[in-house]
């Protein structure tokens, strides 16, 4: 049996990281908030990637969450941060519930291109929609928390940091439990041989749809965080480069560790911030070199730094692979 962290320990880690925000410099808080938000949506991509499908259009659900929250906030004065995250997740989830079963029958590049196409259709509709501010988008007010408003920028940043870390942390714990579950194992089976999965009486499409729905919920919640951090929304949320950034984080992380998604997201934000500061004209080049370095030296992602091959952990190092009956030479 594998020895994994107990969920209570993971909750303690989330609490520790949240409290750590109290001693972080202010500029780091907003950076960490964006990193946590991006990690949440990238985590969804990793969840989906376990079925062998990569979405290049998570910006669709990211924007759906952001726009849904922004519209409700402006129409009904909903400013509570937790409520906004729930609304964002619901908006992304509802869209995922409709789209997931429709595209679950496709795989590989067709799946990826379809998600990209849908996000660009949504982007085009947002740009043309004057009611939603067209290409300029529109602003929303400052978020509150359980009736408390935060006028001190440091406190407002910490509130947003805390909510984003807690929500993303709990999403990470849920993903860890999901990965270990029989559903998580079946998802890996779909990635390897979806026809055999069907012959075993399981529905590969249903497994992909559920993973897609989870990814859409995470993306919608992430859109709500991005909205709260920027207090502005525009069609860029659905643009393909935005979706590409989330895939970028997922590739950096690999699919072996949930924690790797958070580390990768934070690393990417740090590299981006510092390269933007010191090399303002060539920061994209630095990001590209960073990604190349990770692909070259950590082809299974940052997670492979602390997670070895999932099978090698179980087989004693002394076991001879060829001596046992039936082993391939």
Partner 1 sequence: MNPVLSVRQLEKRFGAVVAADALTLDIPAGQKISLIGANGAGKTTFVNMVTGYLKPDNGTILLDGIDIGRRSPRSVARLGISRSFQIPQLFVELTAAENLTVAISGIGTRMSLRAPAEAQGRRDNAVELLERFGLADLADRPISELAGGVRKLIDIAMALVRRPKLLLLDEPTSGVSAEEKFTTMDRVIHAVAPDAATIVFVEHDMEIVSRYADRVVAFYQGRILADGVPAEVLNNQEVRRYVTGGAR
Residue closer to partner 1 by CB (options 295, 327) is: 327
The Cα 38–Cα 316 span in angstroms is 38
Tell me if 208 contacts partner 1 by CB under 8 A: no
User: Residue 256 gets which letter from DSSP?
Assistant: S
Segment near partner 1 (CB under 8 A); pick from 43-51, 56-64, 263-271, 313-321: 313-321
CB of 312 to partner 1, least distance (A): 9
Residues touching partner 1, count (CB under 8 A): 34
CB of 47 to partner 1, least distance (A): 11
The Cα 310–Cα 291 span in angstroms is 24
Residue 296 near residue 290 (C-beta atoms within 8 A): no
Residue closer to partner 1 by CB (options 180, 231) is: 180
Tell me if 135 contacts partner 1 by CB under 8 A: no
Question: Binding string to partner 1 for residues 163 to 202, with x set by CB under 8 A, is what?
Answer: --------------xx-xxxxxxx-xx--xx-xxxxxxxx
CB of 126 to partner 1, least distance (A): 33
Tell me if 314 contacts partner 1 by CB under 8 A: yes
Residue identified by tokens 């946590």 is 36
Point out which residues pair with 232 in neighbouring strands: 139
Residue 99 near residue 212 (C-beta atoms within 8 A): yes
Instruction: Show contacts of 148-156: CB within 8 Å, 24+ apart.
Output: 149/79, 153/26, 154/26, 154/29
Residue 56 near residue 115 (C-beta atoms within 8 A): yes
**Interface with partner 1 by CB under 8 A: which residues?**
1-2, 177-178, 180-186, 188-189, 192-193, 195-203, 210, 311, 314-315, 321, 324-328
């Amino acid at each position: 049996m594998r020895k994994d962290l107990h969920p209570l320990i993971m909750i303690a880690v989330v609490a520790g990281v949240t409290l750590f925000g109290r001693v972080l410099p202010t500029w780091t808080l907003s950076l960490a908030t964006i990193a946590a938000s991006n990690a949440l949506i990238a985590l969804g991509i990793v969840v989906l990637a376990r079925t062998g499908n990569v979405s290049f259009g998570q910006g669709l659900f990211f924007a759906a969450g952001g726009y849904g929250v922004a519209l409700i906030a402006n129409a009904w004065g909903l400013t509570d941060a937790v409520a906004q995250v729930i609304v964002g997740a619901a908006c992304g989830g509802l869209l995922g519930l409709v789209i997931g079963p429709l595209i679950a029958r496709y795989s590989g590049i067709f799946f990826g291109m379809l998600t990209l196409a849908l996000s660009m259709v949504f982007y085009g509709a947002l740009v043309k929609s004057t009611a939603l501010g067209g290409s300029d988008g529109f602003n929303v007010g400052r978020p509150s928390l359980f009736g408390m408003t935060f006028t001190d920028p440091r406190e407002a940043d910490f509130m947003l940091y805390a909510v984003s870390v807690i929500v993303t942390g709990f999403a990470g714990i849920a993903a860890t439990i999901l990965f270990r579950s029989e559903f998580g194992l079946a998802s890996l089976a779909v990635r390897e041989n979806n026809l055999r999965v069907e012959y075993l009486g399981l529905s590969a499409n249903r497994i992909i749809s559920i993973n897609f729905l989870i990814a859409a919920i995470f993306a919608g919640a992430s859109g709500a965080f991005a909205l709260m951090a920027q207090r502005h929304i525009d069609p860029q949320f659905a643009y393909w480069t935005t979706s590409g950034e989330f895939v970028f984080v997922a590739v950096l992380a690999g699919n072996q560790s949930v924690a790797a998604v958070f580390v990768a997201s934070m690393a990417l934000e740090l590299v981006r911030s510092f390269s933007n500061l010191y090399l303002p004209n060539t920061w994209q080049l630095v990001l590209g070199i960073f990604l190349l370095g990770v692909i070259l030296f950590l082809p299974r992602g940052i997670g492979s730094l602390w997670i070895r091959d999932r099978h090698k952990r179980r087989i004693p190092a002394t076991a001879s692979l060829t001596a046992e009956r039936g082993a391939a030479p």
